[in-house]
Every structure is written in structure tokens, then in C-alpha cells.
A = this chain, B = another copy of it.
């Protein structure tokens, strides 16, 4: 990997972290409404995963989508603008935090109903298969999503039709306040893939290098025409499920323990220890990114609200 690539991965993780911290503040200030699900702690997952996708590969995820959006190339400003419901947001302020998307960047959203986007992901893959495109679909979802019927119907169909889809389960240990063992029949999500005869593997989501290694193999399998592949990535969300989560369901020292494995810190140490990038260059990135994100916040805040007649736009294409 080129040095520039290493740097870019670091930069993206830092930007995601900063955008999420800014979002939390804007939410407290009442400038962001609705539900806000932060990606803090999980940055290495989507950053590592999406760094390996080709432009023709489609990405689709759940409502915890800010990081994914940034990895897919949506600017911090567009993300923040959408969170604040501005006309310049990636969904024109109509979707909000849970519904970021930019199909020109092959990012298909941002979906708020747990598991409902999995059948849609199967359809995206079907579309590419039908049109003989060599793109694959990368579909991300949480551990909790593996318990709903949509997951089952989508995985079964993907195997029966040998669809080019990579199922990526971000196992952050909890679905809201319910731990995996209280909601799932099996402790490892990848075991569910065995029930469909779908090849699968598991990776440490706090170590971006491990994520990339597992992803490489997974993508090769799917692009090689072997049909679906299931990748479980172990991670942890450092913040509550969404803003205002009382967090009665976990102990603060459990959170602390995980925070010691901060994916950004781990990657930073890796880069320095392996002499890939000197500390000061990383510091420069930190500073530049901070400046950049604060600018994005200001610009997004100054951006215009959608016009009133936007209310009736896009209900239908025709008529």
C-alpha cells in the first residue's frame, strides 16, 4: 500500500470522529433533530471496508450511516447539512441523519427500518448480475438486524440466486440495550451464515488492517462469482445507541475497556511503530481535519433551508 493510502485511511477515520463529535454538539444545541446515531468507535469498520471497494461497487447500510457516507466520498459539509435539514444536504434535507445517500458515489443509503435494506441490497446485486456488470454490493447491518425476517429472506435469496453481495455484520455487541446473547440464538453472527451455506469469516473491527485483510478475501470471493459472502466484524460503539440513551444496559468500565482499543489510536500507533508515517505528519492531519470539519460546520449552518414548495416535490416522478 502507498504511503498516501495509509494517510488517507487515517484522515477519513479522523474526519468521521470529528464530524460525529460536532454532530453531538449541534444536536445538544437543537440544530439537529430526530434521532442521531453516532459511529464513534466503529470508524475502522467502514473505513477499512470501503477503502477496498471499486467505483462500480454499491454500498448500502442502516441508519448509523455518517461514517459510511464520508468513506463513500460525501463531504463533511453535505453530511452535516443533511443532519441539519438543509437544502444542500445529500438528500436535500428531506432524509436527515438516518437517510444519507449519494447514488452518484454509489452510496445507496442510509435506511432506518432495521433489516429492511437487506432485501433491497439483494436487489441491487440482482440488478448488476442481470446487467452483467462486474460490480458487487456491500451491505452493512448490525448484530440486532440478524434476528429479523428480512435478514433471513435476503440471505437465502442471495445464495439461491448466487448474487454478488457482501453481507457485512457490524457486531457492536448490542442492539439498542439488548446484548447479543439476549437476542440471538447463536453468539457469533457468522454462524447464521452457515445455515445458508454462505462462506463467512470474522474480523477485529478495532484494527483497520485486520478489517482490510478480511475484506480483501471477502470481496475476491464475491467478485469471483462465488455468490454471497458473510463478513462479521467485531466492534463497539463508544456512545449510546442514539443521543439520550440512558445506557442502563452496560457498565461504564466495559465501555472504558473498549475505549482503550480506540481504532484511531490503534492505527496511529501502528503507523508510527512501523515507521510508515511519522507522528508529526499525523498531527498535521489532525489539525487540518479539525479545521476542515469546523469549516464544514460553519458552511452547513449557513446553508439555506429547503424552499417551502419542496414539500410537494419528489412524491412522484410523474404526475
A contact residues vs B (CB 8 Å cutoff): 147-153, 155-156, 159-160, 182-186, 191-198
A198 to B194, CA, bound (A): 13
Question: Chain B residues near A186 (CB, 8 Å)?
Answer: 195-197
Beyond A156-B185, A195-B196, 20 additional pairs, beta carbon < 8 A = A147-B152, A147-B156, A148-B152, A149-B151, A149-B152, A151-B152, A152-B152, A156-B184, A160-B183, A160-B184, A160-B185, A185-B195, A185-B197, A185-B198, A186-B195, A186-B196, A192-B195, A192-B196, A193-B195, A195-B195
Alpha-carbon gap, A147 to B196, bound state (A): 10
Residue of B nearest to A195 (CB): B195
Give the nearest-CB partner of A154 in chain B.
Answer: B149
- Which residues on B sit within 8 Å (CB–CB) of A147? 152-153, 156
CA of A178 to CA of B156 in the docked complex: distance in angstroms?
A: 15
**Copies per complex?**
2
How far does the Cβ of A199 sit from chain B's closest Cβ, in whole Å? 12
State A195–B152 Cα separation when bound (angstroms): 11
Q: Given the complex of chains A and B, what is the CA–CA distance between A248 and B191 in angstroms?
A: 37
Interface of A is mostly: helix
- Compute how far the CA of A155 lies from the CA of B149 in the bound complex, rounded to whole angstroms: 11
User: What are the residues of chain B within 8 A of A159 when measuring CB–CB?
Assistant: 185
Note all chain B residues with C-beta closer than 8 A to A151: 149, 152
Write the chain B residue with the least CB distance to A183: B160
Q: Tell me the bound Cα distance from A282 to B17 in angstroms.
A: 79
Please, could you name 30 A-B residue pairs with CB atoms under 8 Å apart, sorted by A? A147-B152, A147-B153, A148-B149, A148-B152, A148-B153, A149-B150, A149-B151, A149-B152, A149-B153, A151-B152, A152-B152, A152-B153, A155-B185, A156-B184, A156-B185, A159-B185, A160-B182, A160-B183, A160-B185, A185-B195, A185-B196, A185-B197, A185-B198, A186-B195, A186-B197, A191-B194, A192-B195, A192-B196, A195-B195, A195-B196
CB distance from A239 to the nearest CB of B (A): 26
- Give complex CA distance A191, B191 in Å: 12
Give the complex CA separation of A192 and B197 in angstroms: 9
Which residue of B is nearest A191, CB measured? B195
- Measured between alpha carbons, how far is A150 from B191 in the docked complex, in Å? 19
Among B155, B160, B195, the residue within 8 A (CB) of A194 is B195
Minimum CB–CB distance from A202 to chain B (whole Å) comes to 15
Distance of A50 from chain B, by nearest CB (Å): 27
Q: How far is the CA of A195 from the CA of B193 in the complex (A)?
A: 7
Closest A-B pairs by Cβ, 5 of them:
A149-B149, A195-B195, A152-B152, A159-B185, A185-B196
On whether the beta carbons of B197 and A191 are closer than 8 Å, the reply is yes
Q: How far is the CB of A187 from chain B (nearest CB, A)?
A: 9
Q: What's the Cα separation between A193 and B196 when bound, in Å?
A: 10
Report how far A183 CA is from B160 CA in the complex, Å: 6
Inter-chain CA distance A194–B196, complex, in Å, is: 10
A197 to B150, CA, bound (A): 20
* Residues in chain B near residue A156, CB distance under 8 A: 147, 184-185
Whole-angstrom CA separation of A155 from B192 in the bound complex: 12
